[in-house]
């Protein structure tokens, strides 16, 4: 009897303690009637990585009932995700061409910022690159974004306009990968956005591309029609053109829309 009674008493005590203790966090939240925040997923061009982290924090502070999660990649990859039905609420690309190809999947887009290209080199510019023409130097390891990527398309455009023949050692899936190759010393130079180079200050040097030889990248944003939080998604896209958001973008080196 003693051997049988002890476990039974222990089990009874455990049940009693459990009944007296508080419930799970989910139960507590339900008991208090707390409303779960709306979770927005925003697909954004890789060149927006740094600035959107800052913008997202500012938006959440002003909208405590909303949580914003970003997924960064090349614009062409983001477009593929949208076409495949990836669960997301808003899209921001680094060119209008990619966004225009998704008219059936998005609301009417609005341009939130613009950008320009620059040449990124190793710190100190050891190969003495002075402009686009120097990227054709024999033996120079140049890396570019792939032609289907907005940054790659812009790069091809400006190089062809200046009749500069560049044979890149690699073509990367997004502009941040180009920047990474240069900053890690795996390439001597690459063409990136001004804002990317600014974010890597100290890791790369830059060579200015004159406006007459440059290309302007536009960043359109739009809510996705398939979003489960359409109103919240549209509110976020509208906020991106607000004075607060525009200041964050300007401080990061982006130009006015």
Q: Binding site for molybdate: residue ranges?
A: 47, 75, 151, 175, 193
CB 230: neighbour CB atoms within 10 A?
15
Q: Which residue has the tokens 């508080």?
A: 22
DSSP class per residue in 22-80: ---HHHHHHHHTPPPPEEEEEEEEGGGHHHHHHHHHHHHHH-TTEEEEEEEE-HHHHHH
Q: Rg of the chain over CA atoms, in angstroms?
A: 25
Q: Angle at Cα 201 formed by Cα 255 and Cα 112, nearest 5°?
A: 20
The helix (run of H) or strand (run of E) holding residue 207 is: strand 205-208
Kindly state the DSSP code that residue 120 receives in the 8-state scheme: E
How distant, in Å, are the alpha carbons of 2, 10, 22, 32, 226 from that of 19?
26, 14, 8, 19, 44
Residue 182 near residue 189, CB atoms below 8 Å:
yes
Answer whether 145's CB lies under 8 Å from 175's CB.
yes
Please report, in range form, the residues annotated as the binding site. 47, 75, 151, 175, 193
Let me know: does 67 contact 60? Beta carbons within 8 Å: yes
DSSP 147: T
**Cβ(45)–Cβ(92) under 8 Å?**
yes
């Amino acid at each position: 009897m003693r051997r049988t009674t002890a476990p039974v008493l222990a089990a009874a005590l455990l049940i009693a303690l459990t009944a007296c203790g508080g419930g799970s966090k989910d139960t507590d939240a339900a008991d208090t009637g707390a409303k779960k925040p709306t979770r927005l997923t925003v697909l954004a061009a890789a060149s927006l990585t740094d600035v959107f982290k800052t913008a997202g924090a500012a938006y959440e502070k002003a909208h405590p009932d909303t949580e914003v999660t970003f997924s960064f990649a090349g614009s062409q990859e983001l477009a593929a995700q949208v076409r495949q039905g990836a669960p997301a609420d808003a899209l921001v690309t680094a060119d209008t061409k990619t966004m225009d190809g998704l008219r059936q999947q998005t609301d009417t887009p609005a341009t939130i910022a613009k950008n320009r290209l620059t040449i990124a080199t190793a710190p100190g510019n050891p190969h003495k690159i002075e402009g686009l023409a120097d990227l054709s130097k024999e033996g120079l390891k140049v890396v570019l974004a792939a032609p289907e990527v907005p940054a790659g398309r812009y790069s091809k455009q400006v190089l062809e306009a200046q009749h500069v023949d560049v044979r890149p050692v690699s073509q990367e899936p997004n502009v941040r990968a180009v920047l990474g190759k240069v900053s890690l010393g795996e390439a001597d130079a690459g063409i990136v956005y001004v804002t990317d180079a600014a974010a890597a200050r100290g890791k790369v040097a830059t060579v200015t591309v004159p406006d007459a030889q440059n290309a302007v990248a536009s960043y359109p944003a739009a809510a996705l029609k398939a979003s489960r939080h359409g109103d919240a998604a549209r509110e976020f896209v509208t906020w991106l053109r607000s004075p607060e958001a525009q200041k964050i973008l300007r401080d990061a080196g982006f130009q006015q829309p």
